[in-house]
Structure 1
């Protein structure tokens, strides 16, 4: 047991993707609010790109810059997944492995009580263990996704046949004891084998994840039992490790509204002219690169829907960007905006003219949308996004765009029909109502604050 009121020193070490870094930072700020010291560790350029830390917790958060080692094939100044095309990410993982020595040195000299880390540093648990530092894996993925990925508890593994072909992944795993539709589609299942194969970093993602999980004291998950109760319970059984939901870490409204942003002035001027709940907001995250054909169908489907839209179209660095159909912007300029700069998503979703969100189903984006009860049009592309889409459909909290099972392609008509169903049709009222209902959980800051309290209590009471 920690001494009463002992202030802890907690090191936070996220993977080099802003979809991971930002939830780690949100959790850091909430822990610092309880008076504990945080060392937030990343690379110099990522630290420089962080949002400003609020003054009330800034004295307790030290930003630790570990220079990223140079690795062949990794462009200069590339320090996050958003800086490189998808096929270069393994080299970023290789560079990240080069942080082992500097991180070890930091841990030796600053002796934190805990290190809260991500899936990538497979080498970290034994180092921290040797130094007597407690270890928690913090998953930005939700509990149902982690359960689908599989167990580490040997008795559960031995009781089930290994999944060795795509067809094994298109049905719920045998170790899930309750009814669910959470599984991959065939075109997603084919991609999932990338996880298990050694990549250019020298290790598979699965190897990293399993190594990390084999050497921890706890699993912290960005979820809550009100949303994923049975999955949270199952996760603990599959790993034989304490699982602590930390809540959904909603971004602070005060912070989002307090940041002066010239982009926002232009965006809000347009949003203010639109009718209430009429606009569909489209954002596929910073890592999605649809094929040109899929991109065209999305654009044409949006155009033929006739709906007002705001499309946050992030260009990926070092990628031959897909192009909008010829004269698309000209034809839609009276009712739509294609925005290629940085878009303040949380503020856009919070605007009353926005009625729906066409999303890639990243868990953080879903969390933001349900703060405001925005109905979801689901268009997953990568990794866990397909599993989140099924999870949301199961709850009738969104509708997935119909796709070709073999290659994941979709048509402009399927985009148009799904948009109209969710945004306008009487048949889609159930989804709009369900999304509004979700605000009672996702938008209740007191619920999520209590989860962080419980997590901090766990950290205080379990040292070494």
Structure 2
């Protein structure tokens, strides 16, 4: 308590960060992401911003994943390597979703669950104040509680996706509203405003295993619900200026603190290629030869893998568009993937000089930043969306997995992206629809709205002052609610 008689010598600071600056008050924050680079990279961006404020950050992942982080990873962060336990049906050296076919990811989750013991051993001696954990690690709060460590469920999923998924209790127990897949194709009743944000039928059917039990022993929806239910605080990638109504939904249904951490624009955590300079040099030379604002960049992230039929239609669509293109094609997911994608016969010869199909790692952020790139055919993964906005690149949307369908509806609503027309039941699309879509967004007058809107929203994504404000608010909360309770700092 403040002693009023000693007001001149003792102060209670209204902002704990100011007190920290004066008294070198530091937090120890542990960050523990899911084993997917689409999750690891946003966690690493947040870790970097926290560490730059002078706090100790321990970034915990498996040995191979940490060793695959780019050389630009911050030296301010302490990296903690945990050997991934062996489980049946998981290939050797498979430590991230990019290493295995989609149907094997459930065994990766099983191995991830087996990290409970080594993580517990680390936390026991860490003297950590907080741990930020991902949706798969729903068991973290029980471990952290044993050592007096407070918990943050950090969602790299967007506020609209989290709001659409609903109350934690519905995900943990049987959802009384969503008893069949088609129930996910309409906005839920707890969303009080008009919205098109919902899955299309083919999108929910492609991830139906996420809302049901699988060989990991626990459904994704249960993991997500339990992660929300048992944490002290929910932190979400996003900004309240872009989607205030969705943040209000989350506060209403979670009934606990919900904080935005900003869009976390990429700062170069882009790869895993030892020959990055040589790779970029070749790509840049090719891009330099192309017409300004006409190249279609095509990439679907580290997890999404089109079917062979879809690859055929994408390829023929790019050919019919008559636009130059740079396509990063993942022909397989890991060494155990036996279904290797192939390009249509004669495609490369017919598009030689106009297009490039790149089958290894590529520096996406640099490519999007090149002046010749005028559009991005993307899966709607949010990190890719943020990188496109950073570089004012309009979006053509082609969803495959996970939260991508919800992201696409948001981008459609805000006129930030245009979705390739598809059959609502099976997701089928044609080469003609691909060609028309990329031409519309990149060159045609009808698509001007997408090219202009992506520039208008840029400030909400990459403004450093706004991003720092979100980190400031997060740290202020963590400081004032740390495990030792409220503190009084001498002045």
TM-score > 0.5 by shorter chain: yes
Separation of aligned partners in 2, 1:21 and 1:457:
24
Separation of aligned partners in 1, 2:465 and 2:269:
15
The match for 1:433 is 452
Q: State whether structure 2 residue 211 is matched by structure 1 residue 196.
A: yes
Q: 3-state DSSP class of the match of 1:225?
A: coil
The match for 1:18 is 37
Separation of aligned partners in 1, 2:172 and 2:220:
19
Q: Is the 8 A contact 1:236 1:242 kept in 2?
A: yes
Q: Is the 8 A contact 1:224 1:248 kept in 2?
A: yes
The match for 2:261 is 246
Of 80, 104, 114, the match for 2:120: 104
Q: Is the 8 A contact 1:151 1:157 kept in 2?
A: no
The match for 2:108 is 92
Query: What's the CA shift string for 1:353-397, capped at 9, x where partnerless?
Result: 101000000000000000111110000110110110010000011
Separation of aligned partners in 1, 2:33 and 2:123:
15
The match for 1:391 is 410
Separation of aligned partners in 2, 1:139 and 1:255:
20
Q: 1:46 to 1:180 in 2, by over 3 A?
A: same
- Counterparts in 2 of 1:406-417, with a 5 A limit? 406-417=425-436
Q: Is the 8 A contact 1:2 1:463 kept in 2?
A: no
The match for 2:464 is 445
The match for 1:221 is 236
Single out whichever of 319-328 and 140-149 deviates more from structure 2: 319-328
Separation of aligned partners in 2, 1:439 and 1:177:
28
Separation of aligned partners in 2, 1:328 and 1:191:
28
Of 150, 171, 184, the match for 1:134: 150
Q: Is the 8 A contact 2:168 2:229 kept in 1?
A: yes
The match for 1:345 is 364
Q: State whether structure 2 residue 181 is matched by structure 1 residue 181.
A: no
Q: CA RMSD in A?
A: 2.0
Query: What's the CA shift string for 1:207-237, capped at 9, x where partnerless?
Result: 2112211211111111001211111121111
Q: Structure 1 residue 152: deviation in Å?
A: 2.2
Q: Structure 1 residue 2: deviation in Å?
A: 6.9
The match for 1:300 is 316
Q: Is the 8 A contact 2:172 2:226 kept in 1?
A: no
The match for 1:165 is 180
Structure 1: which 5+ residue stretches go unaligned? Answer: none
The match for 1:125 is 141
The match for 2:12 is none
Query: What's the CA shift string for 1:309-332, capped at 9, x where partnerless?
Result: 000112321221111001211110
Of 204, 208, 227, the match for 1:212: 227
Separation of aligned partners in 2, 1:236 and 1:125:
20
The match for 2:293 is 277
Q: 3-state DSSP class of the match of 2:153?
A: strand
Q: Structure 1 residue 121: deviation in Å?
A: 1.5
Structure 2: which 5+ residue stretches go unaligned? Answer: 1-14, 484-491
Q: 3-state DSSP class of the match of 1:11?
A: strand
Q: Structure 1 residue 252: deviation in Å?
A: 2.1
Separation of aligned partners in 2, 1:48 and 1:12:
16
Separation of aligned partners in 2, 1:252 and 1:288:
23
Of 292, 308, 313, the match for 2:329: 313
Q: 3-state DSSP class of the match of 2:396?
A: strand
Separation of aligned partners in 2, 1:237 and 1:101:
35
Q: Is the 8 A contact 2:299 2:378 kept in 1?
A: yes
Q: Structure 1 residue 446: deviation in Å?
A: 2.1
Single out whichever of 235-244 and 33-42 deviates more from structure 2: 235-244
Separation of aligned partners in 2, 1:255 and 1:304:
31
| Alignment TM-score, normalising by the size of structure 2 | 0.90
Q: Structure 1 residue 171: deviation in Å?
A: 0.9
Q: State whether structure 2 residue 434 is matched by structure 1 residue 418.
A: no
Of 245, 248, 254, the match for 1:230: 245
Of 116, 119, 131, the match for 2:132: 116
The match for 1:76 is 92
Separation of aligned partners in 2, 1:157 and 1:80:
26
